[in-house]
Structure 1
Amino acid sequence: MELRHIRYFLAIAETLNFTRAAEKVHVTQSTLSHQIRQLEEELGQPLFARIGKRVTLTEAGQSFHEHVVPILRQVDQAVGALKEAPDDLSGELRIAATHSFNVQLIPLCLSRFMQRLPRMKVVVEELSGDRISEGLVDGSLDLGISYRPAIPRGLRFEPLYNEELKLIVASDHALARRKRLRMVELNGARMTLLAPHFSTRQMLDECFAAAGARPQIVAELNAISPMIELVRRTDLCSIVAENALGNEPGVKAIPLESPTPVRTPGLLWSQQAQRSPASRFMAETIRQVVMQGPLVRR
């Protein structure tokens, strides 16, 4: 399957007319029909129902349409970002991320960004989700990587992927050999978690309540790094996104279930401020890294 097949398919899906679709994509009607037959053969099912001159989407065609529209939009955004980011672009880009994304995702994206735009200066801050939102609203930040803010405040949020949070314990902890753990099993467990005002902590509290578990919270911190270090040095356990660990030695991550705590990180920017070409290019760089997957999701 090639990109032109998707564009031809969408042209017909939008016009429901092969003649007008052919004009739209600047090919002959016979070429368009041939390309669509190739696509249908590759997919193994018809995408359009043809009754006389009337054309409609089949159920498979409707499903295919729902999936390829966002894919093509991302491709077009990527092409647009490249065109908007000339090699000689200079200036300063101010971005911020929460700890989970600052460990691995941001360094990888920065390396690609700086190779493409060597004259740009990038200022990166590690902040809480609330501080990121405030910076975007007051204009001190151009782009944020965080979770969906509880209060939008005129911000645009673009989801990137779903992120599973896991229990972490020291390598010699009694639970370190477990392959999986139910949330209810953390009832009475000695834990260190983020302070209650963090949205991640609020989500975890909801998960504990749903499971009927009441862990013993003996330490509340306002940052992930010291929390991980505390877990490594004590018998306490915690719950964090696995990508926040990096290659931390002496710590074991264990999947949780019933319920599984999941968060959705994404890109944040102000709807009021005009986005610079550098900001758009950084956003597209982050999308591309995330789509490749293993580094940011392992």
Structure 2
Amino acid sequence: MELRHLRYFETLADTLNFTRAAERLHVTQSTLSHQIRQLEEELGQVLFDRTNRKVALTEAGELLRSHFVPALQQIDRGLQALTQPGDALAGELCIAATHSFNTRLVPLCVSAFLAYHPNVKVAVEELSAEQIARRLSSGHLDLGVSYRPADRPELWFEPLYNEELRLCVAASHPLARRRRVRMVELHQRRVVLLPRQFSTRGLLDECFEAAGAQPLVVAELNSIAPMIELIRQTDLAGIIAESAFTPSPDLRLIPLEDPSPIRTPGLLWKKGVNRSPTVKHMASVIRRAASGHAG
């Protein structure tokens, strides 16, 4: 079955007249009749009653029309959105991301989204994972890029990829030339970490405990950019995601092991809410961008 067969069927079902339907489709009556017969033969059903010089839908034709006409309308709307991308969506989209993803991933996605939909206003907030969960639950956000929240059955979580957190040190740091560092080697070393209200800090504390390490947390910063700048200017070590790191000759990013701290970011939205085309398209943009981080 081809799309043109369904378009011919839709037009004839609308006009119930072969002459008018052929004119509307810009084909000959014989071509239209042939295409309708092909469709009927493929379906094994008679779709039109052609007796007494009148055309009427059969019961099978009525059933087909009730299912396929809405589908054709949806296809037409999708094609229109492709040919007129700037006019397809409008309104406002409110999203939030944790610090790591708001550094590079989210700006990249917003840029790609606005290239197709310049009439949409995108509002982005940088929040902790718990704040994102709360604001999604209260209806103040459309979409979140964060981690699986605990005790939030009202939210859907869609994993995007797994990422390893890595040790970040200045080029002059004693560990800067290492290819890998074990978590236990950070015992009693001076570090800067995120505050305890961040889910990533909880993950790191669990890894330190599993390794039997107790680092000296001499600074806590709630944003990655100033943390990296502090590491650049001091002997402190930090643990960050590669996605939040911009290569620099005076910094080193080193894999961690035993255990390797791994987290899984994903998309978050509220259950039971009818997601708009705007939200769905932004989610698709984020999925495509995140696929580059997978593995």
Q: 2:78 aligns with which of 77, 83, 86?
A: 83
Q: Counterpart of 2:197?
A: 197
Change (3 A) 1:189 1:84: farther
Q: Counterpart of 1:229?
A: 229
**Alignment identity in percent?**
56
Larger CA Rg, structure 1 vs 2: 2
Change (3 A) 1:91 1:259: same
On the 8 A contact 1:84/1:277 being kept in 2, the answer is: no
Q: How does 1:166-185 map onto structure 2 within 5 Å? A: 166-185=166-185
Larger displacement relative to structure 2 (180-189 or 102-111): 102-111
Between the aligned partners of 1:217 and 1:273, the Cα distance in structure 2 is 42
On the 8 A contact 1:165/1:261 being kept in 2, the answer is: yes
Q: Deviations over 1:165-190 (max 9, x none)?
A: 00110111111111101111111111
Q: Counterpart of 1:187?
A: 187
Structure 1, gaps ≥5 residues long? 1-25, 28-78
Q: Deviations over 1:248-285 (max 9, x none)?
A: 55321100001000000000001132211100000011
On the 8 A contact 1:85/1:277 being kept in 2, the answer is: no
Q: After TM superposition, what 4+ stretches of structure 1 lie above 6 angstroms from structure 2?
A: none
Partner SS for 2:110: helix
One-letter amino acid matched to 1:210:
A
Structure 2, gaps ≥5 residues long? 1-41, 44-73
What's the RMSD between the two structures over aligned residues? 2.3
Partner SS for 1:255: strand
Change (3 A) 1:85 1:162: farther
Between the aligned partners of 1:99 and 1:172, the Cα distance in structure 2 is 26
Change (3 A) 1:219 1:112: same
Q: Counterpart of 2:39?
A: none
The alpha carbon displacement at 1:111 in A equals 1.7
Between the aligned partners of 1:85 and 1:133, the Cα distance in structure 2 is 35
One-letter amino acid matched to 2:78:
K
TM-score normalised to the size of structure 1?
A: 0.68
On the 8 A contact 1:180/1:257 being kept in 2, the answer is: yes
Between the aligned partners of 1:250 and 1:163, the Cα distance in structure 2 is 23
Q: How does 1:1-298 map onto structure 2 within 5 Å? A: 83=78, 86=81, 87=85, 88=87, 89-247=89-247, 250-291=250-291, 293=292, 296=293
Q: Counterpart of 1:18?
A: none
Aligned length: 218
Partner SS for 2:132: helix
The alpha carbon displacement at 1:222 in A equals 2.1
